Amino acid sequence: MATTGLNLKEIERVDTISKKEFLEDFVKPQIPVVIENLVGEWPAVQKWDFNYMREKVGEKVVPLYDDRPVDYKDGFNEPHAKMKMSEYIDLLQREPTRYRIFLYNVLKEVPELQDDFDFPDVGLRLMKSLPMLFFGGEDSYTFMHYDIDLANILHFHFQGEKECILYPFGEKKHLYKVPHSLITHESIDFSNPDFETWPALRNASGYRTRLNHCQTLYMPEGYWHYMRYITPGFSMSMRAIARNPKNLSQALYNIFFMRHYDNLMRRIKGQKWIDDKNQKAITKTNSRLDA
Ligand SMILES: O=C(O)CCC(=O)C(=O)O
Ligand SMILES: [Fe+2]
pLDDT digits (tens, 9 = 90+) for 85-119: 999 999 999 998 989 998 788 778 899 999 999 99
In this predicted structure, the answer to whether residue 1 has a pLDDT above a threshold of 50 is: no
In which band, very low, low, confident or very high, does the pLDDT at 58 lie, cut at 50, 70 and 90?
Answer: very high
Residue 74 in this model has a pLDDT that exceeds 90 = no
Q: Give distance in angstroms: CA of 146 to centre of ligand 2.
A: 6
Nearest residue (CA) to ligand 1, atom 8:
237
Ligand nearest to the CA of 157: 1
Contact 162, 209 (CB under 8 A): no
- AA letter at 107: L
Q: How do residues 221-276 score in pLDDT, each as one tens digit?
A: 999 999 999 999 999 999 999 999 999 999 999 999 999 999 999 999 999 999 99
Q: Is 235 helix (H, G, I), strand (E, B) or coil?
A: strand
CB-CB contact of 225 with 168 (8 Å): no
Domains in the chain and their CATH numbers?
Answer: 10-290 (2.60.120.650)
- d(CA 132, ligand 1 centre) in Å: 9
Residue of the nearest CA to atom 10 in ligand 1? 147
Q: What is the pLDDT of residue 76?
A: 67
How far is Cα 271 from Cα 69, in angstroms, rounded to an integer?
11
- Closest ligand 1 atom number to CA of residue 136: 3
Ligand 2 centroid to Cα of residue 147, in Å, is: 5
Atom 9 (ligand 1) nearest CA? 237
Res 289: pLDDT: 86
Ligand 1 atom nearest to 227, measured from its CA: 1
- pTM summary value: 0.94
Contacts of 76 (CB under 8 A, 6+ apart): 259, 262, 263
Query: pLDDT of 152-210, one tens digit each?
Result: 999 999 999 999 999 999 999 999 999 999 999 999 999 999 999 999 999 999 999 99
- What does DSSP assign to residue 250? H
Residue range 16-30, pLDDT digits in tens: 999 999 999 999 999
Residue 8 has pLDDT above 50, yes or no: yes
CA–CA gap between residue 263 and residue 2 (Å, rounded): 35
